[in-house]
Structure 1
């Protein structure tokens, strides 16, 4: 066990929330890239405008049924490209629009982080508080050693939540979902001694979501709605239930790729999963999102990436050159080439 860790800098904390340039994997972008692009930040490349090379490449993917979603590129607060492609709900023939709402998967983790930072600013918790300072029932190796800061920075050693039941479980309420997360969090074993390594952990953010609820006295979803979304004017962002997902026409349905190459609607077909088969991932079974992810937002509403069966998301903030890029889609696909095409043109 390590003794003392260096205190997190303001830049580190901002990086957790996507407020500094990040790569798709959440790593701080190299300063040289930002500096090189800063000199041309006043010029809008033709390739990024409507009808330009980037727009045409996404349109081509959509026409080949390899992309469905919304893309937004903004420079200095003004939209450069805002375009929707494909269908939000094929059964009801509802197309994706600029203001279509998408499940964000892990791209909503920064909102969990922001909630924690807010509570730390109010002195309701500290970054070096241990899990056991606020939550009961965890094994000693977690309760007495894992800190808030380690969970924020993916250095806690916590395992990711997995559905290891013999058959997929479909949750029917917020309370049932929260009980399940809490039980799995308390039954896990650490992968490594906290603070000695780094490994992406959704479980750490699940615990942070529970921590936000315990410290604030509000359910996690309500706290984020009131103190994050409403304060930022993000009126189309929320943690929707599966019932709302089915009922609201503006929320895109996730179309999950199957092993035979077809796609199925994950909200309507809870018996189906991703390409791994029936036991594969299907976030609609969870009923509602959590600290680990699966909030909902629109492209204009929001760097972090995320992926679920039937969805891939990424939002990047190029702080030094005043660009924001958002890609939200309701297909599961390899989103990295799209991000690279965006990045290479923005930083050219």
Structure 2
């Protein structure tokens, strides 16, 4: 279970990693369409000052030049995309998806999302709440057995989705190589049951993996389906996310449309993590990890997505595709203050920047970096996907936000959060 911090990933982990560069590809001039996202709603249907594309977000603008420089310095391999009201404004790809097979990164490549896939878990739970199949006030013990008595009786679905359960989870066995979906599921189910209540319920929790796994297990108890199958059917397919899925390690090794993670070793070299399961990350905050060892993402976490699919998901949150509008507002509504302008929502850290809301989720693992940001008041979506250690993901997200909103980090750019 990877860890990250609210709005971007933990800066301690990402600022030191290195990357691979190559030529870029740009897509621009796509006609803009009126497509509201989340709270954009009616504002998206009438012209406003927000329909003017900021020069910094255009091809050749400040953000484009910044990413190109990172790639030229060998610090970024992957893809960045900016979309405004459904039209692609900027799309740039750098580096190789699979060096061994000579496959370059491009818009059709699916990248590992790591924690950037956790909001799918919250959306799935809210779908069930919308249908009346569960309540956010239901406790863990209503659906699951084998948990500590205080967790079973006091921790609710709301507490877990909001990240205020007060639970702590034991360290994972990061050296274990899983061989099947069943092995992954059994391990994480037992792992979650070892959780302990270490703070009063309602206390913000520092990356408790159980807060991710347990809601997924509740979903399975309610629906009779695996978490992976449910999300693929009720989110990915409904959103038209044809390039996304919970791919297995065999698919990672053979599918030409899945980016391989290039993990940096202690000597500064990089290896394909999926083809070198015996190699581990030397960095303190991901020490010993190798994302290829998991046969499939743990329940409630991860998955793979293309940049265009993440834009489709962003729009689906606001147009009723995956959640009725009131329930989409429940998803993104501020639950817990994290700072002067930042808040925790259900699986999606949110903040105010440049006078507008920004919803974003990041994730990282060795060789993996991902962030998607929704600017609901102005119809923008930004995606950053990386498949090589070294991308300064937090800084990249700040630059994206600055290009779109004009806000500096002091005005509410990414950083901090819990």
| TMscore range, shorter length | 0.7 to 0.9
Alignment of 1:255-270 (within 5 A): 255-270=262-277
Q: Which residue of 1 aligns with 2:414?
A: none
The answer to whether the Cα contact below 8 Å between 1:106 and 1:306 also exists between their aligned partners in 2 is yes
Cα distance between partner residues in 1 of 2:381 and 2:140: 35
The answer to whether the Cα contact below 8 Å between 2:263 and 2:388 also exists between their aligned partners in 1 is yes
Q: Which residue of 2 aligns with 1:111?
A: 120
The correspondence for 2:66, drawn from 57, 72, 76, is: 57
3-state SS of the aligned residue for 2:167? coil
The correspondence for 1:322, drawn from 379, 403, 406, is: 379
Cα distance between partner residues in 2 of 1:322 and 1:160: 38
The answer to whether the Cα contact below 8 Å between 2:125 and 2:215 also exists between their aligned partners in 1 is yes
3-state SS of the aligned residue for 1:320? coil
3-state SS of the aligned residue for 1:57? helix
Alignment of 1:110-259 (within 5 A): 110-160=119-169, 162-164=171-173, 168-259=175-266
> Alpha-carbon deviation of 1:212?
1.1
**Does 2:146 correspond to 1:88?**
no
3-state SS of the aligned residue for 2:277? coil
The answer to whether the Cα contact below 8 Å between 2:8 and 2:393 also exists between their aligned partners in 1 is no
Q: Which residue of 2 aligns with 1:340?
A: 398
The answer to whether the Cα contact below 8 Å between 1:23 and 1:316 also exists between their aligned partners in 2 is no
Cα distance between partner residues in 2 of 1:288 and 1:96: 22
Q: Which string of whole-angstrom CA distances, capped at 9 and with x for unpartnered residues, describes residues 265-292 of structure 1?
A: 1100111122339962212211101334
> Alpha-carbon deviation of 1:50?
1.8
Cα distance between partner residues in 2 of 1:25 and 1:310: 14
Q: Which residue of 2 aligns with 1:69?
A: 78
The answer to whether the Cα contact below 8 Å between 1:131 and 1:147 also exists between their aligned partners in 2 is yes
Q: What is the count of residue pairs matched by the alignment? A: 316
The answer to whether the Cα contact below 8 Å between 2:170 and 2:194 also exists between their aligned partners in 1 is no
> Alpha-carbon deviation of 1:45?
2.1
The answer to whether the Cα contact below 8 Å between 2:115 and 2:362 also exists between their aligned partners in 1 is yes
Q: Which residue of 2 aligns with 1:6?
A: none
Tell me the C-alpha RMSD between the 2 structures: 2.2
Give unpaired runs (5+ residues) of structure 1: 1-21
Q: Which residue of 2 aligns with 1:11?
A: none
> Alpha-carbon deviation of 1:244?
0.6
> Alpha-carbon deviation of 1:163?
2.2
Q: Which residue of 2 aligns with 1:282?
A: 290
Shift in alpha-carbon separation, 1:287–1:219, aligned structure 2, 3 A: same
The answer to whether the Cα contact below 8 Å between 2:188 and 2:213 also exists between their aligned partners in 1 is yes
> Alpha-carbon deviation of 1:87?
0.7
3-state SS of the aligned residue for 2:50? coil
> Alpha-carbon deviation of 1:200?
3.3
Q: Which residue of 2 aligns with 1:18?
A: none
Cα distance between partner residues in 2 of 1:252 and 1:293: 18
> Alpha-carbon deviation of 1:25?
6.7
The answer to whether the Cα contact below 8 Å between 1:283 and 1:308 also exists between their aligned partners in 2 is yes
